[in-house]
Amino acid sequence: MHELTWGLPVILYLFLAGLGAGAVTVSGSVLLRKGGFGSSRFAIARCGALIGPLPVMLGTFLIVFELGQPFRALNLFKLINLSPMNIGSWLLGAFIFLSLLYALTFLPPSAGPGDRLRGVRRALAWICVPVGISVAIYTGIMLGAMPARPFWNSPILAGLFLLSALSTGVASIILAGVFFRRNHRDPAVRDDYDNSSYLLTASDALLIGGELIIIFLFLMFAQLTIGDVRYAVNVILPGGNLAPAFWGLVIVIGLVIPLVVEIVLIVPKLLYGRRFVSIPAIEVAIPTAIIIGGFALRYIIVVAGQITAPAAL
């Protein structure tokens, strides 16, 4: 097996940047939408906004020190070219700056839906959503840009990374909600908790469904291709080195189980208009599974791309 050129720091970066960008994107979209979340809209937006920047900055720290010359990292900003890593660095820099400002608007004790920072906060949310989506997407483009890496060389990888980023972002918001919002001092937040929980769970189910469709398309088309990609995809198909981790951690634990549980939870309200009841144990277990799955997805994709190669010399 070839030595991994990009190892754990890069894998962690892809995962953490996705999760953070996803959390901020979800936060911004929840803040900007009109209806649905009621009075908990602000609380959810606050969760996502405060979670977001930290993992992104941690991930960035990790990749900078993965460089052969960490102290030259600023060379990335000496020019703009079409390298996905160059564009991604600009996006990442902008995202860290903007998402920190956005998070700051939630920090004052007086922060609330109608405070005087409202305008700034909404303006920042408008910028953070597209920049967050771009950060989540570019990581997939960066891996996908190389014919020399047939496993990665597909436009669908960027879509998968985006959905996984949003899904792990929602998961982290649900998880934070259990600890910080469920027993909130403000009765309004508590009252709306179940309703907002329902909306988050339903959105997450949609994202996971999307991920499964993308993975299906990826596997299907790899199978129907003759040559490099088909050979490369064998590492995650039954019999491949990474198959147990892929099917066990990514598909079953990270996607199928959460999707089934979430569907069971939302169906009574979705189809029969019954009350949605949130169960704390599930609200901890399912997001945790999704986050584990999200990390496993990055891990397996990054490793699979590097242990496979074009088939013909």
Partner 1 sequence: MTGSRKKSADRENQRTSRRNFLKAAGGSAVAATVAAVAVPSLATDDESGQQADKKQYGMVIDVRKCIGCHSCSVACKAEFDVPLGATRSWVEYTDKGTYPNVSRNFLPRLCNHCRHAPCVDVCPTGATYKRKQDGIVVVDAGLCIGCKYCIQACPYDARFLNPLTGVVDKCDFCIHRVSKGLEPSCVNSCVGGARIFGDISDPESEISRVMATNPVTVLRPGMGTEPNVYYIGADHSDEHENKRGWYDVRVTTHRKEKDRR
The distance of closest approach from Cβ of residue 14 to partner 1 in the complex, given in angstroms and rounded to an integer, is 13
Residues 19-48 close enough to bind partner 1 by CB under 8 A: none
- Dmax (CA) for the chain in angstroms is 67
User: With contact defined as beta carbons under 8 Å apart, do 137 and 14 qualify?
Assistant: no
> Would you say 129 and 25 are in contact if contact means Cβ atoms under 8 Å apart?
yes
Secondary structure string (H, E, C) spanning 147-177: CCCCCCCCCHHHHHHHHHHHHHHHHHHHHHH
Nearest to 290 by CA among 239, 246, 244, 256: 256
Of 252, 261, 292, 309, the one binding partner 1 by CB under 8 A: 309
Residue with tokens 């490099």: 228
Of the listed pieces 45-53, 176-184, 185-193, 304-312, which binds partner 1 according to CB under 8 A? 304-312
Nearer Cβ to partner 1 (166/302): 302
Question: Which listed range, 70-78, 99-107, 243-251, 287-295, lies at the site for partner 1 (CB under 8 A)?
Answer: 70-78
Using the rule CB under 8 A, which residue among 103, 133, 142, 249 binds partner 1? 142
Give the Cβ contact number of residue 38 at 10 Å: 15
d(CA 88, CA 95): 10
- Shortest distance, position 72 Cβ to partner 1, whole Å: 5
Distances (CA, A) of 211 to 202, 290, 294: 14, 12, 11
Q: Is the torsion defined by CA of 108, 113, 119, 121 positive or negative?
A: positive
Among 40, 89, 167, 195, binds partner 1 (CB under 8 A): 89
**CA–CA distance, 23 with 120 (Å, rounded to integer):** 19
> Does residue 134 interact with partner 1 by CB under 8 A?
no
When binding is defined by CB under 8 A, the residue of 8, 36, 75, 274 that contacts partner 1 is 75
Tokens of 271: 């189809």
The alpha helices in the chain, defined as continuous H runs, are 8-32, 41-51, 53-64, 84-104, 118-144, 156-180, 187-191, 193-224, 228-233, 243-245, 257-272, 280-307
Q: Does 157 interact with partner 1 (rule: CB under 8 A)? A: no
Output the six-digit token pair for 250: 């990514």
The residue from 35, 69, 224, 271 that contacts partner 1 (CB under 8 A) is 69
8 sits near partner 1 (criterion: CB under 8 A): no
Q: Can residue 3 be called a binding residue for partner 1 (CB under 8 A)?
A: yes
- Choose the stretch contacting partner 1; rule: CB under 8 A; options: 72-80, 98-106, 242-250, 279-287: 72-80
Least distance CB 131 / partner 1 (angstroms)? 18
Using the contact rule CB under 8 A, the part of the chain among 83-91, 126-134, 249-257, 293-301 near partner 1 is 83-91
Task: Please say which residue, 252 or 307, places its beta carbon nearer to partner 1.
Answer: 307
What character string, x for contact with partner 1 (CB under 8 A) and - otherwise, covers 221-260?
A: ------xx--x-----------------------------
Interface with partner 1 (CB under 8 A), residue total 37
Residues lying near partner 1 in the complex (CB under 8 A) are found at: 1-3, 5-6, 67-69, 72-73, 75-76, 78-79, 81-86, 89, 142, 145-149, 227-228, 231, 305-306, 309-313
